[in-house]
Amino acid sequence: MADTLTPGKVLSFAACAGRSLTRKRLETLQLNLGRYCNLACSHCHVEAGPRRTEQMEAATAQRILDWLVANPVPTLDLTGGAPELNACFRPLVSGARRLGMKVMDRCNLTVLWEPDQADLGEFLAAHRVEVVASLPCYSPANVDKQRGNGVFDGSIRALQHLNALGYGQPESGLVLNLVYNPVGAHLPPPQARLEADYRRELALHFGIVFNQLFTITNMPIRRFRHYLELSNQLENYQNLLVANYNPVTLDQLMCRSLVSVDWLGNLYDCDFNQMLDLSIPDTEGRKLWDYSAEQLIDRTIATGDHCYGCTAGAGSSCGGALQNDLG
């Protein structure tokens, strides 16, 4: 567990929370289809990139779809890496939609311009997939700094293409949400204020519309932790998270209503725990299909000091800030 906060530096998260956390319900099954990605972003807690080989196989995807038939869950949340580059992505989307599930695609936008993804936007629209698109800023310099040269231009073209397909347009029902991660070692600004800035700047300069902006705190694990270490900011950032701990966020944490599953079918309380190999307690060596949905509720959630990242300030989750009235 080398990626968690340094022992002895701060009060442990478990002690700070003052109680163990349990899953209250299961509303979202989040699948990480692997670590292969066309980008290698500096903030990526998955350490995804073009050289990664971890990929979900067809047999695993089918077992998950079979499990969903027997265990109805409202939402399937597909992530990676770039989930769209996995051969299982489209069968999972189609299968989940046939079951009446809401499907979310955590998209880096530039994947729409990959050689074998020419019809990706049309596929997403046809299956009414909710697109959750990463756009760290509305300025080219900040996006390219975090994600690589030319990424901003590709992202803007992708957003314009999605808008043309109906995404983000009033009354279309095609949901396009954007994700902001800070470029640097600080907490996100208030979500509502930043969303207003995004709406103004993207509409003014590019004619882009969207539904919501989600602000997500960078976790001090994996690639972002390495950046903090190299820039001598790790201890200050850890202290920032601890100093801004907000106990009001505990009941709204995504782990209270979500289960994360990796490309092999292993179980975790969230995607961050997955990247730290921190399994749901007492599930080591077992897979999703070894349990019913009911058996995954009221289980103790594995926590560590990295959990300060989700509970700092307005809080942070895959759906953005947990409180929108701070700041």
The 10s digit of each residue's pLDDT in 80-123 is 999 999 999 999 999 999 999 999 999 999 999 999 999 999 99
Q: pLDDT per residue over 164-198, tens digit each?
A: 999 999 999 999 999 998 878 899 999 999 999 99
Q: pTM for the whole thing?
A: 0.92
Confidence of residue 5 (pLDDT cuts 50, 70, 90): very low
Query: What is the rounded distance in angstroms from the CA atom of residue 41 to the CA atom of residue 46?
Result: 10
Residue range 219-239: average pLDDT? 90
**Residue 303, both tokens:** 């926590």
Residue 8, pLDDT score: 43
Report residue 10's pLDDT band, with 50, 70 and 90 as the boundaries: low
- Buried/exposed 85-94: b ≥16 CB within 10 Å, e otherwise: bbebbeebbe
Given a cut of 90, whether residue 324 has pLDDT beyond it is: no
The two three-digit tokens of residue 29, written as one number: 């099954």
Rounded to an integer, the average pLDDT of 138-153 is: 72
Which two tokens mark 81?
A: 């890496």
274 in helix, strand or coil?
A: helix
Residue in 257, 249, 254, 252 with CA at minimum distance from that of residue 25: 257
Supply the mean pLDDT for the chain: 91
- What CA–CA distance (Å, rounded) separates 310 from 264? 25
* 228-264 burial code (b ≥16 CB/10 A, e <16): beeeebbeebbebbbebbbeebbebbbbbbbbbbbbe
| C-alpha angle 83-85-88 in degrees, rounded to nearest 5 | 70
Q: What angle do CA 305, 311, 317 make, to 5 degrees?
A: 110
Cβ 26 vs Cβ 259: under 8 Å: yes
Candidates 237, 303, 305, 238; CA nearest to 269 is 303
Q: Which residues contact 320 (CB under 8 A, 6 or more apart)?
A: 179, 191, 212, 213, 214, 215, 216
Q: Indicate whether 161 pLDDT > 70.
A: yes
Token code pair at residue 193: 């204020």
pLDDT for 247 beyond 50: yes
Q: Cβ(312)–Cβ(71) under 8 Å?
A: no
| pLDDT top residue among 257 and 43 | 257
Cβ distance 108 to 37 under 8 Å? yes
CA–CA distance, 10 with 12 (Å, rounded to integer): 6
Between residues 50 and 273, which one has the greater pLDDT? 273
**Of 46, 59, 33, whose CA–CA distance to 289 is shortest?**
59
Q: What is the pLDDT of residue 47?
A: 81
Sign (positive/negative) of CA torsion 266, 270, 271, 273?
negative
